[in-house]
A and B are shown apart, each in its own frame.
Chain A
């Protein structure tokens, strides 16, 4: 059990001593997750609105597909993205394999169904009188969409928090698409996997605690933002 205590001690040491390898992994994690979250929110919120607001043929079937995608295994996404981005793959020439944008693409696919499904649920749960009210006050279709999304902003916020948690902590995509290259694509989660495989449990726990700390800081910031809106 000593390695747990050791892990706590090392976590503090890594952060206080500004360990370059740890900060490189934190930087890579935040950059990949940030890109993925930006892309998944930009794409996911409008798609979630369309799915939640409008009634159309095959809506139920589409909803089932989106809900199923919530369970996508990260290693499977990693495998598919790897196959697409590898040098011999259809998008190999873009040079995205073993890069942070490559990891971000995989993480976007992971986060997108979460943002779409939870946004659609929030929009569906909006008061049925909201649309009548907005139309009665002279809103056009674009204004109705914007105002509806603003009304359900707490639900969208929950979607963003959930997706951020999933993206920050995934390992399969980062490992397969990023390649766990030190100083380049090594994220905190891939570093934990590596340290654990080397038998360095203390270091693994230390990095895990650092990741938890990052998640705490991100969520405190988001909670502050939530109070303001």
Chain B
């Protein structure tokens, strides 16, 4: 059962089209990651999913039914946490309890507020009576998250939740959000550049560019500038001087995506698998055993690029991969797609 079904949505701000999605479905209790450069439409998509705005054209079905801003179907069930949280000019307790208060739910407010504050790593005794001004950025973000978690939402939409907070707050925000999914089956949609979010926890990742979903999965997007290189290929010089090659794109396509399923990981000194392949040198940044126990998400850092691929567990063990280990990434330039 899909929680969201988006059909032929085109959204405009004035004359400018900011989002165009033909067909997209998000399953219940899933975690979906949104990735893309600034202005790619991530925040707009989250606002549409949160029914804070109605799409200019097209329909968004929620649990198979049409919904719109202020619909009863979505009130208090779908909630969005924005990147720069707004805390109301009242105490932490009143901020967290606001959602309960406006829906007339006064049952055990004190203990429920205490529970969600604990969930986001804030001691209720020390924080509940604090003013909104007496909080750090990370604490404010966690209070804002607590104000949403207390609603036990069906959908929690997070817009760059860890972009402007310290590592400790980021970890607590991730933990509390995931607990909501695990305990209440909350569906999470997260726009983030935090690859830990994306690759460790997301069930699916949507790449957005110029308001369009152009890739689903673990694609590694490569942004320009590109130069014309040898053999009529384009070349991108990476930060450490290595060069990535790609075929010339069709007119209007601007972003190259390296499909990780087409790359090979070898150890330095091992023979290449195919003659046409080019090799980049990098190191293992992170390994994450997936929930099935059989595959490992392996993040390889090559200069500024992070190539995340799903590898069989036995292969990871055979190569004795571990974080920091130097590896070669072999890719076929012809496998690079343009969007």
- A135 to B69 Cα, complex, angstroms: 8
Known A-B contacts A129-B84, A141-B70; the reply to A136 vs B50 at CB < 8 A is yes
Please state if A135 and B98 are interface contacts (CB–CB under 8 Å). Answer: no
Residues of A within 8 A of B86 (CB): 127, 129-130, 132-133
- A59 to B82 Cα, complex, angstroms: 29
Least Cβ–Cβ distance between B147 and chain A, in angstroms: 6
A126-143 toward B: CB 8 Å interface, digit per residue (1/0)?
A: 010110110111111101
- A151 to B265 Cα, complex, angstroms: 56
Please state if B147 and A137 are interface contacts (CB–CB under 8 Å). Answer: yes
Please state if A143 and B102 are interface contacts (CB–CB under 8 Å). Answer: yes
B51-82 toward A: CB 8 Å interface, digit per residue (1/0)?
A: 01000000000000000011000011001111
Least Cβ–Cβ distance between A138 and chain B, in angstroms: 4
Residues of A within 8 A of B98 (CB): 137, 147
Please state if B80 and A140 are interface contacts (CB–CB under 8 Å). Answer: no
- A194 to B330 Cα, complex, angstroms: 98
Please state if B79 and A137 are interface contacts (CB–CB under 8 Å). Answer: yes
- A229 to B88 Cα, complex, angstroms: 13
Please state if B88 and A151 are interface contacts (CB–CB under 8 Å). Answer: yes
- A106 to B82 Cα, complex, angstroms: 47
- A141 to B47 Cα, complex, angstroms: 17
- A139 to B86 Cα, complex, angstroms: 15
Least Cβ–Cβ distance between B97 and chain A, in angstroms: 10
Please state if A137 and B82 are interface contacts (CB–CB under 8 Å). Answer: no
Least Cβ–Cβ distance between A158 and chain B, in angstroms: 15
Closest chain A residue to B50, Cβ basis: A136
Q: Which of A100-143 contact B (CB under 8 A)?
A: 127, 129-130, 132-133, 135-141, 143
Residues of B within 8 A of A138 (CB): 75-76, 79, 99, 102-103, 151
Please state if A132 and B88 are interface contacts (CB–CB under 8 Å). Answer: no
B-side interface mostly: loop
Closest chain B residue to A138, Cβ basis: B76
Residues of A within 8 A of B52 (CB): 132, 135-136
Count of B residues near A, CB < 8 Å?
Answer: 24
- A140 to B79 Cα, complex, angstroms: 14
Closest chain A residue to B47, Cβ basis: A132
- A141 to B139 Cα, complex, angstroms: 29
- A127 to B76 Cα, complex, angstroms: 22
Residues of A within 8 A of B291 (CB): none
- A130 to B148 Cα, complex, angstroms: 15
Q: Is B253 an interface residue, CB under 8 A from the partner? A: no
Known A-B contacts A136-B50, A137-B151; the reply to A129 vs B82 at CB < 8 A is yes
Least Cβ–Cβ distance between A157 and chain B, in angstroms: 12
Q: Which of B93-139 contact A (CB under 8 A)?
A: 98-99, 102-103
Least Cβ–Cβ distance between A133 and chain B, in angstroms: 4
Please state if A140 and B148 are interface contacts (CB–CB under 8 Å). Answer: no
B102's partner among A127, A130, A137, A153 (CB-CB below 8 A) is A137
Residues of B within 8 A of A132 (CB): 47, 52, 80, 82, 86
Q: Is B16 an interface residue, CB under 8 A from the partner? A: no
Could you name 30 residue pairs across A and B whose Cβ atoms are closer than 8 Å? A127-B86, A129-B82, A129-B85, A129-B86, A132-B47, A132-B52, A132-B82, A132-B86, A133-B82, A133-B86, A133-B88, A135-B70, A136-B50, A136-B52, A136-B79, A136-B80, A136-B82, A137-B76, A137-B99, A137-B102, A137-B147, A138-B99, A138-B102, A140-B70, A140-B75, A140-B102, A143-B102, A147-B102, A150-B89, A151-B89
Q: Top 9 nearest A-B pairs by Cβ distance?
A: A138-B76, A129-B86, A137-B99, A133-B86, A136-B80, A138-B75, A136-B79, A143-B102, A135-B52
Seed contacts A137-B151, A138-B79; 20 additional CB < 8 Å A-B pairs: A129-B84, A130-B86, A130-B88, A132-B47, A132-B52, A132-B80, A132-B82, A132-B86, A135-B50, A135-B70, A136-B82, A136-B148, A137-B76, A137-B99, A139-B102, A140-B75, A140-B102, A147-B98, A150-B89, A151-B88
